[in-house]
Amino acid sequence: MTEVFDGDPGFIIRPYQLADRQGVRAIYGSDEFARPDLQRKYPRMGEYLADSMSHYTDYEPESAFVAEAQGEVVGALLGAVDTARCERVYRRHIRPLLIRRCLSGAYGWPGWVLPILRTEWASRHTVYPDVALRQYPAHLHIGVLPLWRRRGIGAALMTCYEEYLCQRGVAGFHLYASSFHPLGVAFYRKLGLEDLGQFEWRLHDGLQWQRVTEHIFGSRLDGPQRRSLGAESSAPEMTPRVT
Ligand SMILES: CC(C)(COP(=O)(O)OP(=O)(O)OC[C@H]1O[C@@H](n2cnc3c(N)ncnc32)[C@H](O)[C@@H]1OP(=O)(O)O)[C@@H](O)C(=O)NCCC(=O)NCCS
């Protein structure tokens, strides 16, 4: 049984299907905010970015949701119910996949690897606030194509994911939003998510270092702490439909 939500007449929010894989990869393979110069210089870096998110579509597709408009995937929320398990899968399967594909030339000349390695090396001294995974075990990533933003799609995807987590009895979720993703930070604040802390790190963009503030947001889905779904958002009223 698949739940589908009707939103604005212009789009629907529904569970991810295998046929959506390319559309989802296109959204996550083109992040216009993170290292845009490197992405322009090395267009096949997008393949790497999409592969680095492939845990969600390939190992936990049931926790992914898409927004479809005019027959195309225009937004996607990629979730993981158990963050600790997701990290294990990433170390065991995704990281080796990235290395293998990089060495085999699947990403073309990987001129962006050095800035990424420099960033990882510089992060070794970063102090990360602990996220209480008992209270906030799930996490998510979200992206909407530029032309489709500010129409309530992001908020509708969040509502759908929260309902999904609630149905599974998941206690809560958290997420990270970098200062170079200002739309994300504004969006999560508007949704009224809890502020779980922040920390500073440095990103090498291929030319120079950038200071980044990483915000951690979260939401409890059990008990009185639960925020009312969609209360602060512009999500259209959604009617569950069962197909
Ligand atoms: C963040 C993102 C997913 C929001 O999706 P969206 O479909 O545009 O969001 P919605 O239309 O549901 O917006 C809900 C509310 O969030 C706030 N918001 C969303 N985008 C905003 C922006 N650019 N500036 C200020 N507030 C914003 C608004 O209050 C908005 O309600 P309103 O339009 O009635 O004022 C989208 O901007 C995006 O894909 N950004 C690039 C990727 C990204 O930053 N992902 C998050 C990484 S941490």
| pLDDT score at 32 | 83
**3-242 homologous superfamily:** Gcn5-related N-acetyltransferase (GNAT) (3.40.630.30)
| pLDDT score at 225 | 60
CA-nearest residue, atom 19 of ligand 1: 187
How confident is the model over 157-162, as a mean pLDDT? 97
| pLDDT score at 235 | 41
pLDDT band at 234 (very low <50, low <70, confident <90, very high): very low
pLDDT in tens, 182-201: 999 999 999 999 999 999 99
CA-nearest residue, atom 26 of ligand 1: 186
Kindly give the number of the ligand 1 atom that is closest to the alpha carbon of 145: 39
| pLDDT score at 47 | 95
**Ligand 1 pocket check for 44: Cβ under 6 Å:** no
Of 101-105, 208-212, 220-224, least confident by mean pLDDT is: 220-224
Is pLDDT above 80 for 1? no
Domain ranges, ordered by start, for the chain: 3-242
Residues 6+ apart with CB under 8 A from 11: 67, 68, 69, 74, 75, 148, 151, 153, 156
b/e per residue 29-54 (b: at least 16 CB within 10 A): bbbeeebeebbeebebbbbbbbbbbb
